[in-house]
Amino acid sequence: MGESKSYRGSCHCGAVRYNVKADLSGEMITCNCSICSRSGTALTFVPAAQFTLEQGEDNLTDYQFGKKHLHHPFCKTCGIRSYSTGTGPDGKPMVAINARCLEGVPFESLKLKQYDGASV
């Protein structure tokens, strides 16, 4: 494991902005479930305490599907889902960050690992 660093993230239009402290040296999850495969996310997971929504809460619409355990907020203006929220396996609040929405992070530098979410 590497060191956690602070990153700024946003939706495409910039109406939703956040800060997150994350370690991007490990593997990012690419998932083949119905929502991730359509949106092309590369996810890393952080405790909710390491995520701060700076602006745009009023510009988010929440989307839930399936068992409705996860919240998939997306920007009402541009439609981008830059993060999701839920509960981790340890029962604690977590945030799934779409690393593609972080500023200054070259996507080609990320290590990707496929997760078979379609079978879950």
Domain range list for the chain: 5-112
Q: Average the pLDDT over 34-45 and give the result.
A: 86
φ/ψ of 7, rounded to 5, equals: -130, 150
Q: Is the CB of residue 17 less than 8 Å from the CB of residue 54?
A: yes
Q: Average the pLDDT over 44-56 and give the result.
A: 97
Q: Rounded distance, CA 110 to CA 28, Å?
A: 7
Instruction: Flag whether pLDDT at 59 surpasses 90.
Output: yes
Q: Average the pLDDT over 43-65 and give the result.
A: 93
pTM of the model: 0.88
The CATH number of 5-112 is 2.170.150.70
pLDDT of residue 1: 61
Residues whose CB is less than 8 angstroms from the CB of residue 39 and which lie 6 or more positions away in sequence, other chains included: 81, 98
Residues whose CB is less than 8 angstroms from the CB of residue 102 and which lie 6 or more positions away in sequence, other chains included: 7, 8, 9, 20, 24
More confident residue, 81 or 64: 81
pLDDT bracket for residue 102 (50, 70, 90) = very high
